[in-house]
Structure 1
Amino acid sequence: MNFTLHQLKVFTTIVENKSITKAANELNMTQPAASIQLKNFQDQFDIPLSEVIGRQFYVTDFGKEIFTIAQEILNKTKTIQYKTEAFKGLLSGKLKISVVSTGNYVVPYFLNGFLKKHPKVELVLDVSNKTTVIKDLEQNLVDFSMVTVSPDHLDLIELPIMENKLVLVASKENKIISQKGTDKSIFKTIPLIYREDGSGTRHTMQQFFKQEKIAPKIKLELTSNEAIKQAIIADIGVSIVSLLSIKNELHQNELKIIPAKGLPLKSVWKLIYLKKKALSPVAKAFLEYVELEKENVYNNYFSWLDTVEM
């Protein structure tokens, strides 16, 4: 056999995309060039790796086994690259982080300086809801997760980063709030928009309502922070959202904060990771960077939070 690393890369990318065309686009190749590389790789085996039925690409059972081995070979070559760069004094490797959706307003400001300092580091960032983020952490698919609510069932180490404030928000055109006042009882009558089940924001809201013995009037559930903001702007209802997420909407005078009793709700953004996890040099460096720079990052990018009237 005389296959090349390039052929392995083309083959694994095609399998991952289940499409030669999509793989070619990802690899910046033409579709015919990718097909030729796949054929040259296939010709070295007596057993088919794949088949095309109609226009659908399928991987054979044998092809799936070769795919797994090819991934291992490619990962080993990356390790060689990382080791070489480490000996030259360059930090390299993958940094894998999962972030709850609202955390996407926080984590880029910590990654910005770190990635500029270490340009050889490859970032894999997944933004999802709390349930998915914790599942990724539990299955050891990531180095860190960024959350405000930590799971109770995992043995973790936590690095607090900054405070998170949740505020009651309504459309600038909303007239109901001014009629009802700011007592907690308004939650029993105003139409409230909830995040989906599994969201950290929803969990914090529910804890507040449970503690205050309030049965809120739920208008609807939405699965993203952006969808909630648009629904509030359209005056479909009100919601409790992270102050971090509405900077532009406040500046553009599309939303207003309602100073209700018991609010803002406060939690803490934190990086969490498994206590028994052996952190890579890249992960250790990022942890040290966040610890060292978190105050500077807050002052440079988030000091506006302290000036908002609530």
Structure 2
Amino acid sequence: MVDLRSLSLKQLRAFAATMRTGSVTQAAQALFVTPPAISTHLKSLEKIAGHAIYQKNAEGPEATEIGQELLEAANEIEKVIERTRVKIEALAAGASGSVSLGVVSTGKYFAPGIVARFRQFHPDIRVRLAIGNRTEIIKGLEHREFDLLIMGRPPAHVAVEREVLGDHPHILVAAPDHPLVGDPDILPEDLLRETFLAREDGSGTRALMTRFLDRVGGGRTFNFVEMGTNETIKQAVMAGLGI
């Protein structure tokens, strides 16, 4: 059995250069080493292979079948090394690698567009997009699972750099035939009689809604039905279940 564990890149390069240039002397010049060093690498490589790797003829050295296999291996290794070099340089320049984006549920309607635009300019960067409620996304940030976040209010207890993407208005939504639709003078009492459709505890939208109703209602209780997704809430609003 041939044991290639002691095979070295220097040996393969010496052999490839000898076959490419046609002589040990020229191979040494190409690799900036001495001819004896090339000869030593060739002998070591031949010993590892256990068979002759090239033969001499009038036109110069010619690789044997075993030598051809070694040349192919050397060529593939050089390709891998070159790809690795390019990737390392790209990573160092910020043009490659991966980025993890955490987005709160309400941002999922425009986040894919942002990712698509980003990919146009950085096609070699892998993107992982995670959607969750505010608590889940902040927890992921605390555990360093995300590089970037899209959310309504950045967490105060985590040191982050923040950039405003745009306005994030919140409005009341009701079915078209709801009695409050079109009423310009809605009173707090009118709202507190309604059933509110709320996201689960931990959602930023849920927290905002609760603060709003506590403020307009002066701490009075209000009715709500909890739902896990924005899509379910939209369907419930259309069905007249609440606002």
Q: What range is the shorter-chain TM-score in?
A: 0.5 to 0.7
Q: Please, which of 201, 212, 221 is the counterpart of residue 226 of structure 2?
A: 221
Report the Cα distance in structure 1 between the residues aligned to 2:94 and 2:145, rounded to whole angstroms: 24
Query: Shift in Å at residue 163 of structure 1?
Result: 0.5
- Whichever structure has more strand as a proportion of its residues is 1
User: What do residues 250-295 of structure 1 show as CA deviations (whole Å, max 9, x unaligned)?
Assistant: xxxxxxxxxxxxxxxxxxxxxxxxxxxxxxxxxxxxxxxxxxxxxx
Q: Is the 8 A contact 1:187 1:215 kept in 2?
A: no
Q: Counterparts in 2 of 1:1-310, with a 5 A limit? A: 80=84, 83-84=87-88, 86=90, 91-175=95-179, 182-212=186-216, 213=218, 215=220, 217-238=222-243
Asked whether the 8 Å contact 1:187–1:214 carries over to 2, the reply is: no
Distance 1:172 1:139, change over 3 A: same
Cα distance between partner residues in 1 of 2:149 and 2:140: 8
Q: How far apart in 2 are the matches of 1:203 and 1:233?
A: 23
Query: Contact 2:135–2:202 at 8 Å: present in 1 too?
Result: yes
Q: Quick one: distance in 1 between partners of 2:183 and 2:219?
A: 19
Displacement of 1:220: 0.6
CA shift, 1:108, in A, is 2.2
* TM-score, with length taken from structure 1: 0.47
* CA separation of 1:82 and 1:137: change in aligned 2, threshold 3 A: farther
Gaps of 5+ in 2: 5-80
SS in structure 2 opposite 1:126? strand
Distance 2:128 2:213 in 1: 36
The alignment-based identity, stated in percent, is: 29
| Residues 219-262 of structure 1: per-residue CA shift (max 9 Å, x gap) | 31001111100110111111xxxxxxxxxxxxxxxxxxxxxxxx
- The one-letter amino acid paired with 2:99 is L
Question: Displacement, 1:88?
Answer: 11
Give, in angstroms, the shift of residue 157 of structure 1.
1.5
**TM value normalised by structure 2:** 0.59
Task: Give the residue type in structure 1 aligned to 2:131.
Answer: V
* Matched residue count: 163
Higher relative contact order (CA 8 A, sep 6+): 1
User: Contact 1:90/1:120 (CA < 8 Å) preserved in 2?
Assistant: no
What amino acid does structure 1 have at the position aligned with 2:124? K
Rounded Cα–Cα distance in structure 2 between residues aligned with 1:221 and 1:111: 31
Match of 1:28 in 2: none
- TM superposition shift of 1:217: 2.7
Q: Distance in 2 between matches of 1:230 and 1:91?
A: 42
Do the aligned residues in 2 keep the contact of 1:90 with 1:118 (CA within 8 Å)? no
User: d(CA) in 2 for partners of 1:101 and 1:199?
Assistant: 8
2:165 partner SS = strand
Q: Distance in 2 between matches of 1:219 and 1:164?
A: 23
Deviation of residue 214 (structure 1)?
5.1
Q: Distance in 1 between matches of 2:134 and 2:112?
A: 18
Q: Distance in 1 between matches of 2:171 and 2:184?
A: 17
